[in-house]
Structure 1
Amino acid sequence: MEQMDLLLTGIGCLATPAGDVLRSGKEMQEIQEIKDAAIAIQGGRIALFGAEADVRNKLKGAAITETLDAGGRLVTPGLIDPHTHLVHGGSREHELALKRSGVPYLTILAQGGGILSTVQATRASSEQALYEKAYRSLDTMLMQGVTTVEAKSGYGLSLEEELKQLRAAKRLNETHPVDVVSTFMGAHAVPSEYKGRTDAYVDLVCAMLPEVAQEGLAEFCDVFCEQGVFTVAQSRRILLEGRRLGLMPKIHADEIEPLGGAELAGEVGAISAEHLLAASDEGLRQLAKGGVIPVLLPGTSFNLGMNKHARAREMIDTYNLPVALSTDYNPGSCPTESMQLIIMLASLNLKMTPEEILTACTINAANAIGRGRQIGSIEIGKRADLSLFDAPNLAYLPYHFGINHTFGVIKNGQPLVWDRQMIYAQAGKGESVS
């Protein structure tokens, strides 16, 4: 090894799941921890890691372009947010009083609020305005230690408007240092102009899919399979058509009512089923049988003031499922970009351990968006996506809540955040927002 681009030394605790594959059930507890560690990076990828003395010994005689001292901090793989509604117009703070007075979410939607309110704001926004708003959210996520996010469309609900969202997301992936993975979700709600004609709108969504696939604007296709939105049969039709065109199925399943979305996810070979608060025992069995990743969103049940949460402990202990975690960042049910809030809520309300939480936010989240071989763990040859936290160990992150622990973020071997300051102007992919 004659040349290293970056040597990260002084790591108090390096914590990572091992390997590329999903960690299921008890495997989610298996975290590799190395005290007094170092990581060597070459060409944007991890070249060496381990105890600092061992790494330095192996690097004797090598030229090192830059050395950074982690100052005894915790270092993990970069966090991954595998379920967001990143690109949207407007906000919905006016619905807060309705929610707090006990008006159900589906009632707000039926009255033209909820998703439909954001559809109006998104349709009224230019692609540039959507891009700039989402760019700022990506900055916030980056400062939380997030290096990759998934972004769903679904606030356009017409071909032109859905393409507008997806094109904004594509441009964000090309220009912002955080990687953006796109999902087409034209079946997020039934637009007002199709009220009472859901089957006709399903026809329209299926007609949108070829252009989305042809332009390469999305990797996944998602559907909100829920009472009052899309039935299991309607969802099946959309997901199978998307799969035929090369878009891997995802599904918003059993968020409020046990409609059978989890069972459908197993049937169609979805990569992930998301929410799952009301999933039945049979639904969880079908997820396990179908190899589907449950993506849990504890911020949503928390913000909606719900008395129940996804059954993470049963998913892990009984059904041996590979749980992932995400923010569900959106303007209505969960308007937060904070993965560190999700870490705390996973501990408090889902009863997950710090080790399970790290696994869920890294390697399992990576696999939920088809990126397990590239990111999600600290492994030789993987992308050097790293987060540095002002914390002595993993348990400190959910324990000391309500603050941002992020000290630094390294993406593809480039420091983007250091000493709690954004420095990525020198390291980003391209244009920025003034």
Structure 2
Amino acid sequence: MSDAAILTETRGLFRRKRLIAAALPAIVLAYLIYIFFAFGVPDMIRTADTKNARILVSDSYSHKVHVTRDNRDGSVDVAIEGERKGRYPAGEAPAWVTLGDTTEIDLENGHLITFGPELITYEIPGYGQITAQPGNRGVNAELPPGEVPDWINASKNRLSITTDAGRLTITRNRSEVFRYFNGWELFFFTLDSPFHGMGPGEVLSRAMAGDAAAIWRDFWTNKMWRHSDVAWAIFETILMAFLGTVGAAIIALPLAFLAARNFTPLGAARFAARRLFDFLRGVDGLIWTVVLSRAFGPGPMTGALAILLTDSGTFGKIFSEALENVDDKQIEGIRSTGAKPLQRYRFGVIPQVTPILLSQILYYLESNVRSATIIGAITGGGIGLLLTQAIITQKDWEEVSYYIVLIILMVMLMDTLSGWLRRRLIHGKPA
């Protein structure tokens, strides 16, 4: 081939490479543009409610105190998060609420709400006073002259005012004020506990004085946050993952010998074992969860069985491939001593595949702890159930963030523990 032909061929080769290098990013970009419109991202952005998003985020790290007036009899209740378990005793209220025939609610910075015998007023700095009279015919509201701002929603039967200081909602039968505070209120002690309102130092001194058991009891049986129930739910989630993972490993190991080519010469047996593994791992764990919950009812054991079925197929494939890659020389050495087949498997095969098997089992145990959270939401067990209930109610989003934090800590703990076990069992190192 002449030099000119070589030069022409080389230039053509570089031209094709440049075209390919330019075409690949263009194809990826075109695919991303297609996804952007096919999945309705513009519509999602247009319909997104940033106000609700801000409220959701603020609810995750704060709590609100409800001051509620029954417009029919004039009675006023004060409760944290509006729950009966967080209600102040009759006649008691926080310092910013003054109870009486006329209840005054000081939201600070000039925001003052008054629950009178007939009228309800809200003094808003820079805007003026809003007066409302709830009755059988609805809510008769008087606003300052001018255009109604968007943070006021007024209709015949309802008046809602949302400011930076708080929120006031008035209907025919009820008037309610929400005031937000940072932190998870009553996380340690409820209002009926003698340790409520104490600082860390005072609680510690009381514990040193002999009240440690009472302090722990009031914390552990907290009716608002249910720490004992949450701890049991965490235990159920870990137990679900452990039973499912270990049970799957126990079932998959003998079946893996049946599926390994170098241990089962009969092709029909290998084919049947491999198709069984494909069937078990081909059906997602969530599908197994739904099927088993219909068959056996809800509960953590149903979730463990779902993990067991899915991981039995996965472990069977992984274990059989590990068995097919064992070194035959070590097995031959054991055979030369006159060892029987079971002894050859025990001393010639198991030591070779144990590191791989343990590594995979520990990895899937760590992964199944996360999966057990979702499975528990379906089967009615574990921390997943509590998380789902908190999300569905859409009332106490600080509980949702609390459960998410616990799930993250649980996963971190399992990651650390599985890493330590992997080093200890496989490499023989204590740390």
TM-score (norm 1): 0.22
Q: Higher helix proportion, which one?
A: 2
TM-score (norm 2): 0.22
Greater RCO structure (CA 8 Å; 6+ sep): 1
Q: Higher strand proportion, which one?
A: 1
Larger Rg: 2
